[in-house]
Amino acid sequence: MIERRQSGRPVGYLNINSLQSHILQGEAAAAGSTGDFTWILSAISLAAKAIAARVRMARIEDVLGDSAGANVHGEKQQKLDLIANELLMRCLGSRPSLALVASEEDDQPTILRKADEGGKYCVIFDPLDGSSNLDVSVGVGTIFSILRNDPTIPGAVETLCQQGSKQVAAGYVLYGSSTVFVLTTGNGVDMFVLDPTIGSFVLVKRQLKIPATGKTYSVNEANRPTFPEGFSRYLDWAQQNGYSSRYIGSMVADLHRTLLKGGVFLYPPTKKNPEGKLRLMYEANPMAMIVEQAGGKAVTGAGGSRMLDVQPTSIHQRTSVVIGSRDEVDAVVKHL
Ligand code: FDP
């Protein structure tokens, strides 16, 4: 007889439901699937493992701190931003069904191949979000979004400027105390954790749901004097109603906590960033798809309209963000 722990799992239990097999199962069940999509996700998973390893070794390998350059947003690039960018570019570059890739760190999208050469999909990513926290070993992450390539649209930028509701998949990887891969392909949200002993992301939660409520707000409150008034009204209300505050300053880490525990994450317009600070296509849209697929809500901080309905006009466009538990997002919007 197999000896069992109290959990009911056999001693020596090994979760071998890997991300790879999970995606393959999904693809096998979909009529007419070609495997192209699986190849793209496997490239992202491979890059994520390589980035996780580099992040863990960063201080030892002496790759912390600023590189010489700045990105298109005028922000200092960390050495690891560039390493993560390069790893994703290299892993994705070899996938035959990819038409375009666009990185938050690069000025222009990279054209890999046209539709008639097999380019069916586009991947947009923020290689290392929250990277200003790297020096102090706080969780950082990779965020990605997958779109279809529309061969009728001529330019690369125009092709990418699709509403978030058109994303075919989105996800993030959190390099925290464990490496977590959260994925939606439009059919709910699944969560995987990297098991370093076997080198695979294994499924730990299928159909993840965000709690409908959660008395925690996550915002850089130091910016409050320059928020539009409605946000200050909301914060007053939240403080009078027993809310707690949690802010890491790394969107993937803050959003991951919000997804699992409930609450709301906000990045309102400020004097410094009147449109908001976060990038619509690299950060807000993929997170909005994940949160909606988990039963939550995501709206813009200007007017409270649905994030996924915003029509992008440029790939590096910024937006204000209110995202998280359904009732908590509604509570913010009520004050705007
Ligand atoms: P970072 O500048 O460290 O890359 O959009 C980038 C981001 O981090 C988000 O991850 C994070 O939520 C936000 O900026 C933090 O901004 P503030 O420092 O202005 O609060």
Q: How far is the C-alpha of 164 from the C-alpha of 159, rounded, in Å?
A: 13
What digits encode the pLDDT tens for the residues 241-255? 999 999 999 999 999
**pLDDT the model gives residue 318:** 97
Atom of ligand 1 nearest to the CA of 222: 20
What digits encode the pLDDT tens for the residues 313-336? 999 999 999 999 999 999 999 999
| Amino acid identity for residue 190 in this structure | D
**pLDDT the model gives residue 333:** 97
Residue 3 has pLDDT above 60, yes or no: no
**pLDDT the model gives residue 62:** 81
**pLDDT the model gives residue 19:** 93
Cα-to-centroid distance, 107 and ligand 1 (Å): 19
The residue behind tokens 């070794």 is 57
| pLDDT band for position 1 (cuts 50, 70, 90) | very low
268 CB less than 6 Å from ligand 1? Answer: no
Long-range contacts of 16-22 (CB under 8 A, 24+ apart): 16/198, 16/200, 16/202, 17/202, 17/203, 18/192, 18/200, 18/201, 18/202, 18/203, 19/45, 19/181, 19/183, 19/192, 19/200, 19/201, 19/202, 19/203, 20/45, 20/200, 22/190, 22/192, 22/203
**pLDDT the model gives residue 11:** 62
What digits encode the pLDDT tens for the residues 137-178? 999 999 999 999 988 888 999 999 999 999 999 999 999 999
**pLDDT the model gives residue 115:** 86
**pLDDT the model gives residue 94:** 86
Residue 30 has pLDDT above 90, yes or no: no
Residue 127 has pLDDT above 80, yes or no: yes
What digits encode the pLDDT tens for the residues 195-234? 999 999 999 999 999 999 999 999 999 999 999 999 999 9
> Mean of the per-residue pLDDT values for the chain?
92
141 CB less than 6 Å from ligand 1? Answer: no
Facing residues of 184 across strands? Answer: 170, 189
**pLDDT the model gives residue 12:** 66
**pLDDT the model gives residue 259:** 98
Residue 60 has pLDDT above 80, yes or no: yes
183 CB less than 6 Å from ligand 1? Answer: no
318 CB less than 6 Å from ligand 1? Answer: no
Q: What are phi and psi of 162, to 5 degrees?
A: -105, 150
In SS3 terms, 151-213 reads as CCCCCHHHHHCCCHHHCCEEEEEEECCCEEEEEECCCCEEEEEEECCCCEEEEEECCCCCCCC
Which protein residue has the closest C-alpha to ligand 1 atom 18?
249
| pLDDT band for position 116 (cuts 50, 70, 90) | confident
Q: pTM, whole model, 2 decimals? A: 0.93
Please state, as a whole number, how many other Cβ atoms lie within 10 Å of the Cβ of residue 76.
14
